[in-house]
Amino acid sequence: MQDTLFNRLDDAATIDVTVLLLKVIGTGVSLTLLIIAVVFALSQRGQRDHQALVARCFALANLFAAVYVGADAAVRVDALLGDFSGTLFKIQLALTATVLSAAAYINLYWAMAADDHLPRAKAWTLYGTATLAVALLWIKHPSLVIASDDLIVKGMSVFADYGTLTPWYFAFVLTLTSIVLLTLMRSPQRHIDRTGWRLNLAGFLVLLAGGVHDALRELGYFLLPFSTLSFGLVCFQIGAFGFLASHYARTLRERTRQRQRLRRLNDELERDPATGLFSRRYLQDLLDRKPASGRGGLLFIDLDNFKSINDRFGHLFGDQVIATAAQELRSQLRAVDVPCRWGGDEFLVYLPDTGPEDIGRLAARLRDRVTALRFDSAPGLSIRMSMGYSGLGADGWRASVARADQALYASKHRGRDQLTVSASDTTVELAEPHD
């Protein structure tokens, strides 16, 4: 068969060899684009969202386009070899792929325009109509599209024995194609990404021109000595890839912006904007997820006489004091510790893997750092703080917070600027309060 093909190529006219070569190249390009579309659709399969639906519709449309391009090239090879035993089947297959590819591209644009999932009834109606049109191609009758098994050979071109319905059939396919074009021209995507839209529109116009040319050619009106629809489909596949790439690039940008907005919202929920510490809600949610048992504790901190600071220097200065104290607090904690602003001038710190025997040293460091703070706008002002500690017990973190709060008030009652450990925890030696 190879020798026969090479001999035929030697005898064929240059234009026939060139056309065959271009069709073979077009088939390779079309199959390559199909593989990319299928791989992309498979990568989106696990998402189960609207974009995965678009990817599936696009892969299906490329499948039908590739079938047409391959079948059309195969018909050209049959004409070159002079073997027409399976040519009619290939012609019917190519015509079938034409109808289904038009329906698939309509469904693709519907899917891209849909806010969520494409309504099943709409897609089933479209493919049902296309299937009825395809069924006519496989029934041989003089009044339908394919009249008989006979073939008409004109040089390197092969035509089926068409019936009386053929002109109406081609008009129907071109109407479907025109619907896709109108859908594209009215698509809102052109207002967002004109490069992708123009690329797709150019490919589509080449496709439509090739379709009109080949429809006239099949009906006996020869404008060029070869078919052009295969080239049009390949150009359209390339244009559609550009359009879909711009569509997904825009979708990716939107998803990125959404993730950034969600991250900012999460930060607002997780962080106190004034101090940069974790929010009360974040710590509560964290403790809700922690097991009731386990080593760890809660340290309650309150700035002493803070109301008098607000009264003397104003609330803005008071906010500055709270933020500065929070920075000192954070600087003395480990990476695993979770400090939060509980409210006002109160802080609550979750200290995992920490027992009462460790809290005395931490409290002394915190007290020394906060006491050493100085403010240019309030010379001579010394910040003090009282602390209360309670270990996490089997009765839950809320009960531990209540015990730490009681220990904090015990520190205030004993003269402030000191640490009190809840009576339920092991007694530790405490540093003496400052004068």
Q: 193: pLDDT confidence band, cut at 50, 70 and 90?
A: low
List, in sequence order, every residue forming a beta bridge with 348; answer none if it has no partner. Answer: 300, 340
Which fold, 278-421? Alpha-Beta Plaits (3.30.70)
User: Which overall architecture, per CATH, does domain 2-264 show?
Assistant: Up-down Bundle (1.20)
What are the CB-based long-range contacts (under 8 Å, 24+) for 118-121?
118/53
Average pLDDT of every residue of the chain? 80
Among 347, 194, 192, 214, residue whose Cα is nearest residue 278: 347
Distances in Å between the alpha carbon of 277 and those of 158, 184, 333?
78, 51, 12
pLDDT at position 254, please?
76
User: Region 216-244: what's the mean pLDDT?
Assistant: 78
Lowest mean pLDDT among 82-96, 178-192, 211-225, 256-270: 178-192
pLDDT category at 10 given cuts 50, 70, 90 is very low
Cβ-count burial of 127 within 10 angstroms (0-12 exposed, 13-18 middle, 19+ buried)?
A: middle
Average pLDDT over residues 189-198: 59
Task: Work out the pLDDT band at 191, boundaries 50, 70, 90.
Answer: very low
CB 84 within 8 A of CB 153: yes
pLDDT for 127 beyond 60: yes
Which pLDDT value is given to residue 427? 42
Q: What burial class does residue 36 get, using C-beta atoms within 10 Å of its C-beta: 0-12 exposed, 13-18 middle, 19+ buried? A: middle
The reported pLDDT for the residue numbered 11 is 47
* Choice among 59-68, 264-273, 356-365 with the minimum mean pLDDT: 264-273
pLDDT computed for residue 202 by the predictor: 76
Residues of the chain with CATH 3.30.70.270: 278-421
Strands (E), 274-395: 278-279, 296-303, 338-343, 346-352, 385-391
Secondary structure E strands in 93-162: 146-154, 157-162
| Distance between first and last Cα of the chain | 107
313, β-bridge pairs: none
Among 179-188, 204-213, 231-240, the range with the most confident prediction by mean pLDDT is 204-213
Residues of the chain with CATH 1.20.1070: 2-264
